[in-house]
Amino acid sequence: MPCDLILVLDAPSVRPLVPVLKRLAGTVRWAKVGLELFTAEGPDSVREVAGLGFEVFLDLKLHDIPNTVAKAVESASRLPIRMLTVHASGGSEMLRAAVEAQRRTAPGLLLLGVTVLTSLGPGDLGELGVAGPPEGQVLRLARLAAGAGLRGLVCSPLELTQLRSQLPADFQIVTPGIRLPDGERHDQKRVMTPGEAARAGASYIVVGRPILGAGDPVAAAQAVLADMERGI
């Protein structure tokens, strides 16, 4: 199964990243704009990244009442984006409203349901009143999202094998929590290497600091892609 790399732009501004993004544009196809960057610079950040030649994954993890999320999906779909996230824990009514808005305004946009954040372990879920391991909650939310009409999910790589056995073959799965074998975990608890995630069935893997924080970002990106290729 093909697997692609998404570069995380965890920064308060696009401008300092422009030189390295120009260098990476021939190596990395996708870039993720998340809450930090979008909150700081808004829709212009998406337009600027897209203008540099990247396919944009807008990771806002929308989670609100159904009508508000639907309106937010409509607004986001007017931007040059290819993927957008909503929280699967918002419930089936919210997810259906998001899917209806996406199909109406941007049929080509891939709407992704976020399951359990990779920073959460069993103890964290227990604090929220969720019993059992993260894998069980991920599967429950994955089924909820698929039943509401979503065609993709975000989950830790540790849940890939389980989800691939439960979901349609064409379901798109995006996995953060990716670290090189000798890299630091930072705030991620449930992680895999790029090759392991690709072999387990990831459609996209999300990598940020191991590339942008490297002395040679292009070489770091090439190392991630090479590890993915070995895994496949």
Kindly list the catalytic residues.
Answer: 61
- Tell me, what amino acid is at 145? A
Residues 19, 184: Cα–Cα separation, whole Å = 25
- Asked if residues 46 and 78 have their Cβ atoms less than 8 Å apart, the reply is no
